[in-house]
Amino acid sequence: MPTTGNIHIGGVNIKHITRQALIHVVAFVPQDPTIFPDSLAANINAPDEEMLEKLLALTELEALGYERQAPLNVEGAPKRVVQLVALARALAQKPKILVVDEAVDVVHEAKIWAALEDLTLISICHDLTHIQMYDCVMVINDGRLQEFDTPDQLASQQDGALRGMLRRWGGPPSKPLDAAPPSRT
């Protein structure tokens, strides 16, 4: 397991990227995202109408009965709607890297998962439900990297941390983890 190295985004070492530039390539959707008592369009804050159209089509928020110019009911909005608005807001930034907290289940919906194909997706999670969908898994304990490999590789390690979590979560897999939609990191 590497103990040193560099991080590159688009082939550029992040040591050579300003903090301001880095903010524009990474977007984050927190576990409990915030929406504002403003219109759907204002909450998403897309740079142009074309992007807004794409994001509304992806999230299907209008099909759920939400109008793009009508104020959102912040207090009564279902969790799924809040997640979809927050995801659309993050994607409006056109990030290269999308970081989502585990509670953001909407990223695992087939249509949205497919739309994230060109992004590096980093999902912070404790729930192992969708672990097989990812190319790589990092097990971090007390701020230290314990394991890093494919889900199947880590699940097959007899004394591995991920295998232990899988055992506690519902038993270790007797075969490689089930196939899933196209993978992400």
CA within 13 Å, CB half, 151: 21
Above 80 in pLDDT, residue 180?
no
Mean pLDDT of 156-164: 92
Q: Where are the domains of the chain?
A: 15-124, 128-185
Query: pTM of the prediction?
Result: 0.81
Residue range 15-124, CATH number: 3.40.50.300
* Strongest mean pLDDT among 18-27, 67-76, 152-161: 152-161
Mean pLDDT of 42-56: 95
Q: What is the pLDDT of residues 50-71, one digit of tens each?
A: 999 999 999 999 888 888 898 8
Between CA 15 and CA 18 the distance in angstroms is 8
Compute the Cα dihedral for 169, 173, 176, 178 and give only its sign.
negative
Among 150, 154, 155, residue whose Cα is nearest residue 171: 155
Q: What is the pLDDT of residues 105-151, one digit of tens each?
A: 788 889 999 999 999 999 888 888 888 889 999 999 888 899 999 99
pLDDT at residue 48, rounded to an integer? 96
What percent of the chain has a predicted confidence (pLDDT) above 90?
46
Nearest-10 crossing angle of helices 49-59, 79-92: 150
3-state SS of 15-50?
HHCCHHHHHCCEEEECCCCCCCCCEHHHHHCCCCHH
